[in-house]
Structures are given as structure tokens and as C-alpha cells.
């Protein structure tokens, strides 16, 4: 079954395009945080691949932790926010940068922002590997965006297709989505 996802998909962004987007974002993030000591929160599990490629490119001191909030699980349509690991209390007084794989409708990131700010963060910024181009307005805009993609069901680079193919170096979309 998992091979069917790959066989019935289209390339959206090659591994080289993904790497170039991450390199560009790293420069932008470094400029933004050059005089700060940010706390970087990685959203599990989708942002692991993205964070693993971005973090070594950031030439600035930072703290690293993670959160786990999801609206999808193994589904392809979002539901309510499932907090598996909430932001740490150490966000108080910090410039926080949240890394996530995708900004779809923006509801998960909006809930993360609200929680981080409730805990007393000095500021909130977010970086996403991809942002879906949607015909509706989102509740927030990402501060740093790697690639803008069509409104299709995508996987690879940390994003999964019902649990499969997070490990792909490229981004693919299901045909017919």
C-alpha cells in the first residue's frame, strides 16, 4: 500500500529545490535573530526533517526544544488540536521560533502561537518548510516560508501520507488531490 502513494504521486519540489529554499530561509532567520538568543521549538513529528536540515545552517546561539501538536494524526483531513507535548514553561521572556513542516489552514500554528504567548514568550515567530496556497485567508502568516505549494495533499520532507514517506528528500503530491 505505501508504494502506491509514491507510484501515484507527482513531484512538487525536488530535493535540490528544497535544499535551496532551506538555505535561503537560514539566511533570513539569522538576520532576524542576530542579536537574540532564541528558543527554537520543533513541531514533532513532521518538522524533524526540516529542522535537521535548517539548524546546522544557523550560525547563531540558540536553545532547542520540541512540542507535539497535531490536527491530522494518520488522517488526511484536520480535526481538533491534539497536544501531546505542550510548550515548555521556559518560553517565558524568550524570543521563540517555531519550526513546522507545513502551514496548511494555519489552525495548528495559531494554537501553538496562542499557547506560547500565554506562557509569556517575549515574541513568537514561525518558519515553515512549505505553505499551501489556499483560496481562503489564514488566521496567521508564517514569518519564514521555504516554498509555496498548490493546495494538494503532499508528502515527503517530514510530511507523511497516512504515516508513510516522511523520509523522502523531495516533496510529492497525491494525484487527484
What is the domain partition of the chain in residue ranges?
A: 2-174
pLDDT at 102 over 70: yes
1-23: average pLDDT: 91
Q: Are 151 and 133 in contact (CB under 8 A)?
A: yes
pLDDT of 156 strictly over 90: yes
Four-residue CA torsion sign, 96, 97, 101, 102: positive
Q: What is the pLDDT of residue 79?
A: 56
Which SS3 state, helix, strand or coil, does residue 62 take?
A: coil
Q: What is the pLDDT of residue 76?
A: 47
Give the residue-averaged pLDDT of 115-119: 94
Q: What is the pLDDT of residue 161?
A: 85
Region 30-58 average pLDDT: 96
pLDDT of the residue at 78: 52
Whether domain 2-174 has CATH 3.40.50.2020: yes
Band the pLDDT of 27: cuts 50, 70, 90: very high
Q: Residue 81 above 90 pLDDT? A: no
Whether the Cβ atoms of residue 124 and residue 144 lie closer than 8 Å to each other = no
Phi-psi region of 85 (alpha: psi -120 to 50; beta: other; left: phi over 0): beta
99-122: average pLDDT: 94
Amino acid at each position: 500500500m505505501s508504494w502506491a502513494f509514491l507510484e501515484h504521486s507527482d513531484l512538487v519540489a525536488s530535493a535540490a529545490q528544497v535544499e535551496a529554499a532551506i538555505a535561503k530561509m537560514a539566511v533570513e532567520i539569522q538576520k532576524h535573530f542576530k542579536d537574540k538568543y532564541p528558543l527554537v521549538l520543533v513541531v514533532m513529528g513532521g518538522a524533524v526533517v526540516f529542522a535537521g536540515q535548517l539548524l546546522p545552517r544557523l550560525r547563531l546561539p540558540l536553545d532547542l526544544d520540541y512540542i507535539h501538536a497535531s490536527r491530522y494524526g494518520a488522517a488526511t483531513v484536520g480535526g481538533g488540536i491534539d497536544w501531546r507535548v505542550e510548550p515548555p514553561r521556559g518560553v517565558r521572556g524568550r524570543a521563540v521560533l517555531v519550526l513546522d513542516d507545513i502551514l496548511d489552514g494555519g489552525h495548528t500554528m495559531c494554537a501553538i502561537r496562542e499557547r506560547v504567548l500565554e506562557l509569556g514568550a517575549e515574541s513568537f515567530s514561525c518558519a515553515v518548510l512549505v505553505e499551501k496556497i489556499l483560496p481562503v485567508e489564514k488566521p496567521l502568516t508564517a514569518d519564514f516560508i521555504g516554498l509555496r505549494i498548490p493546495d494538494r495533499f503532499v508528502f515527503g520532507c517530514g510530511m507523511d501520507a497516512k504515516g508513510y514517506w516522511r523520509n523522502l528528500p523531495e516533496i510529492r503530491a497525491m494525484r487527484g488531490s
